[in-house]
Amino acid sequence: MRITYQDTKKGIIDLVPETLDDLWHISHIIEEGDILSSKTTRRIQDSTGDKLRSDRGIKKTFFIGIEVDSINFHLFTGKLRATGSIVTGPEEFVPLGSHHTLEVKLNYPIKIEKKHWSKYILNRIKQAVEASKKLSAIIISIEDDVADFGLVRQFGIEYYGPIIGNVSGKRIIDKNRLKNFDEFYKKISESLLKFDNIQNIIISGPGFTKNSFHDFLENKYPDLAEKSIIENTGSGGRVGINEILKKGLVEKLNSENRIAKEIASINNILAEISKSAGNVAYGKDETIAAVNAGAVKELLILDKFVRIEELEKVMDLAENMGGNILVVSSEHDGGKQLESLGGLAALLRYPIK
């Protein structure tokens, strides 16, 4: 996510979402009553008398703002739509007050106007912007003894390599062939280790070399192997890297990583509940009491409850007392488990009565 303009005194922040996770964040940043502005396309009735077009009208694109009354994000389709009444736009094409749905799209700028920007929401935007600076994935495209890297950053793809192995052709008898492949794989692995905090490694290519490299990682670099998946492509090199990008695999993996983290935290809560004197609080009243006591190490809150003003204050207080805040999506099983606990739970530094 990128911030292109910010003036919270005027209540305005302009953003550019760059990943599906950004859309998920934005779906919880925008609230009922906010003004959301973006480019949109509408079919306008043609007034020229052209009978061929008079039924369906002509498509026109322009910038409009709506006062939001509902927002929907579908995780599996990646669609984020906000519906509301039009408050700004070219009146010759869109009558003010009429209903309209804006779709928030990746890499398209939006403007959000609020009467009040809470500390929690501003922190959430800051975290999303910081995440955009990190390496979200590395795509390795291997074909024979050549490996190209695609470093996936939210601003685009950065190419690295190629790394070339000294491996003879299949038809050439070479007793050192397997040893040379090991040296080739070692060079690739050492290059991977240069990058900090790799979240995902996608090993791709058209042949079987990618599978052999993954086997090598499992034996020699198990930590890297745990972060790796194998994906078949029709080509190697940069063409193969772009083939992976078009599949949307990177966005899917990033979303799965976030969900895995949320489910792990829910499991920690459930494990503490199972203990007779666990360091845990759950349910609205019990969790708020723990926050007020300064005992919360990690506060989990269901995304549906983030917009409740009372709970925004609770999140601010927990954070001010050194607690971590984790917003859990209601779209997966972990979120449903948290909802069954009242939508609010916390891991504690020490048990409280």
What average pLDDT does range 240-255 have in this prediction? Answer: 84
Q: Rounded mean pLDDT of the chain?
A: 85
For residue 136, what are the contacts with CB-CB under 8 A and spacing of at least 6? 19, 152, 153, 154, 199, 200, 250, 254
What are 197-208's pLDDT values in tens digits? 778 899 999 989
The per-residue pLDDT for 211 is: 94
What residue has token string 């209903």?
99
Residue 51's pLDDT band (cuts 50, 70, 90): very low
Tokens of 69: 């009354």
Count other C-beta atoms under 10 Å from residue 288's C-beta.
21
The per-residue pLDDT for 14 is: 95
| Sign of the Cα pseudo-torsion (302, 306, 307, 311, in order) | positive
Please state, in angstroms and rounded to a whole number, the distance separating the CA atoms of residues 25 and 249: 19
Taking the alpha carbons at both ends of the chain, their separation in whole angstroms is: 42
Residue 68's pLDDT band (cuts 50, 70, 90): very high
Angle between helices 309-320 and 119-132 (to 10 degrees): 60
The per-residue pLDDT for 124 is: 81
The per-residue pLDDT for 232 is: 93
For residue 251, what are the contacts with CB-CB under 8 A and spacing of at least 6? 19, 20, 21, 78
Tokens of 271: 């494990």
The per-residue pLDDT for 6 is: 93
pLDDT at 12 over 80: yes
The per-residue pLDDT for 241 is: 92
Q: Which domains does the chain have, with CATH numbers?
A: 2-132 (2.30.30.870), 137-247 (3.30.420.60), 262-348 (3.30.1330.30)
Say what the pTM is. 0.58
Q: Pick the residue with more confidence: 260 or 215?
A: 215
Residue 45's pLDDT band (cuts 50, 70, 90): low
Residue type, 181: F
What are 99-155's pLDDT values in tens digits? 989 999 888 999 999 988 888 788 888 878 877 667 778 999 999 889 999 888 655
Strand ranges of the sheet holding 110-113, from the earlier edge strand across to the other edge: 2-7, 12-16, 110-113, 35-44, 58-74, 79-88, 99-104
The per-residue pLDDT for 194 is: 86
Tokens of 97: 């007050």
Between 91-100, 203-212, 232-241, 278-287, the lowest mean confidence (pLDDT) is in: 91-100
Q: Are 10 and 111 in contact (CB under 8 A)?
A: no
Residue type, 205: G
Residue 230's pLDDT band (cuts 50, 70, 90): very high
